Structure 1
Amino acid sequence: MRPASGRRSRLFPAALTLLIAFAVPAVPASAAPAAFTHPGVMVSRSQLDFIRDRVNANAQPWRNAYNQMAGSAYGSLSRTPKPRAVVECGPYSNPNLGCTEERQDAIAAYTLALMWYITRNSQYATKSIQIMDAWSNTIRDHTNSNAPLQTAWSAASWAKAAEIIRYTYSSWPNTTRFATMLRGVYLPKIVNGSKSTNGNWELTMMEASLGIAVFLEDRAVYDKAVSIFRTRVPAYIYLPADGALPRTPPGSGIDTRQEIVDYWHGQSTFAEGLSQETCRDFTHTGYGLASIASFAETTRIQGQDLYPEIGGRLRTALGFHTRYELEGPPAWLCGGSVKRGLGPVTEVGFNHFSTRLGITMPNTKAWTESRRPHGANNLFVAWPTLTHANNPN
């Protein structure tokens, strides 16, 4: 198979012509901003202000989304963090030695940071800090086969929480220790990606790496994450312009038709918006789509918007999977055996295309709006209806 860079491009199908209007020159090799924007990991200050105004006005769907978050265990002021020096996670978290506790404490830190910003009740900021301090004072390593994924899931939430607290709350004495934890414990496990695993791994690893890069203001890490992301997204979501076969992750060694079909979980018919993990199940596909959208959100906040580059893939993937969530799958897809269950992963991308760009996405709209408020998946996605539903900022 010819490498992706050597393929001829086909004409874009009609469904993609609308996005051409939003095309911009490619992001340069040095993508990091000259000055970082804070808070700036998936949610910006203007987005947070919009959320706060909507919740305080009792407007929907934000009020219901806030109530869902505040009523969850993640928003409890009585939460006791459960840090471990070594978190060990095997396949499907077996063994599970601190895996669930770490992910949930990280989501709780982010949840409480959001609650602080919305309510201005300092107890929430203090509790978020307590959780982050407990882990930064304890964690030293992640081990076993799922260590990179566990690290990425947790770091994605840690970075979002830390950005809000550091740049909107008055005092966090152990900020430097937390930054040292992110750089020394989390970043080494994720920054180089994972070429031959299922795509949701590397996409979440890059989401987390980018968040850490913003918090640390590390331009080299930021640039590396962008570089890997720009090749992984085209290898995760298929467009007809790719040719007869999907692209593959550079360096993966997946380069024959049979290897590609096997990597795409037995799927040999490739349609616009299909994901590398569609025929594994929609749930893991949703993890990948969530990380793609979150990554693009962060680059947009940082003034290096990657949505125009990857938008056609994300938009069609959202439409593809929500269509078959709503209608049921066709016989040609995954041999007629599809495991659905996309999860709370559509709000961020849908908001960008629908609210900001005015693109009609009937399947994604129907799926997303009928399931609001979207909550937490207990891994790394949390409260996207609250943060991104109809948010124009």
Structure 2
Amino acid sequence: MNRTKSWLICLGLVTLTAFMIQCKKSVAADATNNPVSNSSVNGAQLVAFVHPALLNTQASLDLIASQTNGGDADRTAAYQKVTDFINSHKYPTSFPATVVVGSNGATSPSKNQIRSDSELAYATALRWAKTGNATYATQTIAILNGWARNFKDYALLDGDTNANQPDLEASWTTPTFVAAAEIIRYYKVNGQSAGWSDADINQFSTFISLVKDNYINKIPKYNNNWDASAGYAKMAIGVFLNSTTVYQNGLDFVRTYLPVVINPDGTLPELCDRKDCVHYQYSLTAFAYAAEIARLQGDNSLWTMNSNLISKGYDFMRKAYDRTTGCNYCTVNSPVFPGTEVAYNYYKTANLKTLRELQPPLGVPNDNTFLGFTTYTHFGVTGL
């Protein structure tokens, strides 16, 4: 009797073990097929982030594609900025392992390429979403894969280069790559995905994690556009990685520096400090993009923080273009950065309306620092 009981217990343990192994395989397979699951990667908790959601959603991309394909004049003119950029930039066939960067406008071929390629990847992703032509999805995937497989590190151009310049460069280009990757990974044209493989997605995830850990996380406390850009970048990376840890770190970063970079009355000292019409717009653009990422995840707190502080910052920008700030480095002909369109889409203020109408439709910044084409993706697109 005891022998029979022991045999039954052993049989039961074997059966239970086999069942648990099979369950573990099923869970692992589900996590692979459904990356937005409640499991963890590298210790970071995964939650059900909205995808795609790096400034664009399935609904907003559907809308603008439908309007453009239907002949809407304003949307078509804005989309022309996308095709113009693609047509005027060389499609990359090789990708440097080391990106050499300089400070204060100093550049190199590899620095120019990574900035341009990030914008080109985003442009071709938007073109695929609009047309459904698999050629453009393939082009985007090739750019994303090329950088993910080949990039190793950043290097300084010369002894005059700020040692932290790579941290800023990574903060500028990575979110643009991620915005393209979000579309290619999650958007579907008539129910058809782009076909980016799991292996390639994993390699891209490793790439953006590397630049986050080795560069973006090391941004110094400059209390200016550097910190704003790093916060925005970490939020973008967190969404793609489905990591609440990374996303929250970026969100906390933005919440910390928003009231530091923009004074309570809306003034941005960077205008006078840097003596140009560009650097303070870096801050405004980063904050606007960060706020929009959060909004698409169901959180409007950055847009409304400190009595709509981002809006007050754009009120200051309007004064800068009117040359009434005391630091007259802007004119009505100065470039208007694309964050203006995103901010107008949310606030709808008279000052933002004036700013976005100075040079519409907005394309990309002259220096390729932040993703563009926001007149195409955001003008008149509300609640999506």
Cα offset, 1:381, TM superposition: 3.0
Runs (5+) with no aligned partner, structure 1: 1-31, 240-271, 355-360
Alignment partner for residue 343 of structure 2, among 339, 349, 366?
A: 349
Does residue 324 in structure 1 map to residue 352 in structure 2? no
Shift of 1:205: 1.3
Corresponding position: 1:282 with 2:277: yes
Contact 1:209–1:222 (8 Å) recurs in 2? yes
The 1-side partners of 2:211 and 2:133 are apart by 31
1:70 to 70, 83, 95: 83
Equivalent positions of 1:142-157 (< 5 A) are 142-144=154-156, 145=162, 146-157=165-176
How many corresponding residue pairs? 317
Q: 1:386 to 1:300 in 2, by over 3 A?
A: same
Q: Offset of 1:75 from its aligned partner? A: 7.7
Aligned pair partner of 2:215 in 174, 184, 189: 189
- 8 A Cα contact 1:282 1:321, kept in partner: no
Task: After the TM superposition, list the runs of 4 or more consecutive aligned residues in structure 1 that deviate by more than 6 angstroms.
Answer: none
Q: Tell me the distance in 2 between the aligned counterparts of 1:165 and 1:273.
A: 37
373, 376, 383: which is aligned to 2:373? Answer: 383
TM-superposed deviation, 1:211: 0.8
Change (3 A) 1:383 1:135: same
- 1:362 positional shift: 2.0
Structure 2 matches for 1:125-136, cutoff 5 A? 125-136=137-148
Q: Once the two structures are superposed, what CA deviation does each residue of 1:342-389 show, in whole Å capped at 9, x if it has no partner?
A: 5233100011011xxxxxx22321221241100011222310101111
Q: Distance in 2 between matches of 1:95 and 1:111?
A: 23
Tell me, yes or no, if the aligned pair for 1:74 and 1:107 is still in contact at 8 Å. no
Equivalent residue for 2:108, pick from 88, 92, 96: 96
Determine helix, strand or coil for the equivalent of 1:87.
Answer: strand
| Pick aligned residue for 2:311 from 311, 315, 320 | 315
Letter in 1 for 2:269: Q
TM-score by length of 2: 0.78
Structure 1's 52 and 227: CA in aligned 2 closer, same or farther, altered over 3 A? same
What amino acid maps onto 1:314 in structure 2?
Answer: I
* 1:172 shift after superposition: 1.2
1:61–1:385: 8 Å Cα contact kept in structure 2?
no
Q: 1:120 to 1:277 in 2, by over 3 A?
A: same
Which residue of structure 2 aligns with residue 6 of structure 1?
none
Percent identity, please. Answer: 28
Higher helix proportion:
2
Do 2:167 and 2:218's aligned partners in 1 also have CA atoms closer than 8 Å? no
- Equivalent residues of 1:285, 1:342 under 8 A apart: no
1:17-70 superposed Cα distances (whole Å, 9 cap, x missing partner): xxxxxxxxxxxxxxx994111101121112212211221222242110101211
Residue 203 of structure 1 aligns with an amino acid whose one-letter code is: A
CA distance in 2, matches of 1:311, 1:164: 33
C-alpha displacement at 1:175, in angstroms? 1.2
User: Could you tell me which amino acid in structure 1 is paired with residue 134 of structure 2?
Assistant: S
**8 A contact 1:187–1:212 mirrored in 2:** no
- Change over 3 Å in CA distance of 1:33–1:350 after alignment to 2: farther
Q: How many Å apart are 1:320 and its aligned residue?
A: 1.9
How much has 1:304 moved relative to structure 2?
A: 2.6
CA distance in 2, matches of 1:74, 1:226: 36
Q: Give unpaired runs (5+ residues) of structure 2.
A: 1-44, 157-161, 188-192
RMSD: 2.0
SS of corresponding position for 1:376: coil
Residue 137 and residue 34 in structure 1: after superposition, are their counterparts in 2 closer, same or farther (change >3 A)? closer
TM-score (norm 1): 0.76
AA of the residue aligned to 2:203: R
Q: 1:46 aligns to what? A: 59
Q: Which residue of 2 aligns with 1:207?
A: 232
Q: Call closer, same or farther: CA 1:365–1:119 in 2, change over 3 Å.
A: same
Where relative contact order (Cα < 8 A, 6+ residues apart) is larger, the structure is 1
**2:314 maps to 1:299:** no
Relative to structure 1, the CA distance from residue 34 to residue 180 in structure 2 (aligned partners, 3 Å threshold; closer, same or farther) is: closer
Q: Distance in 2 between matches of 1:109 and 1:216?
A: 19
Structure-2 separation of matches of 1:96 and 1:126: 27
Rg larger in structure = 2
1:51–1:386: 8 Å Cα contact kept in structure 2?
yes
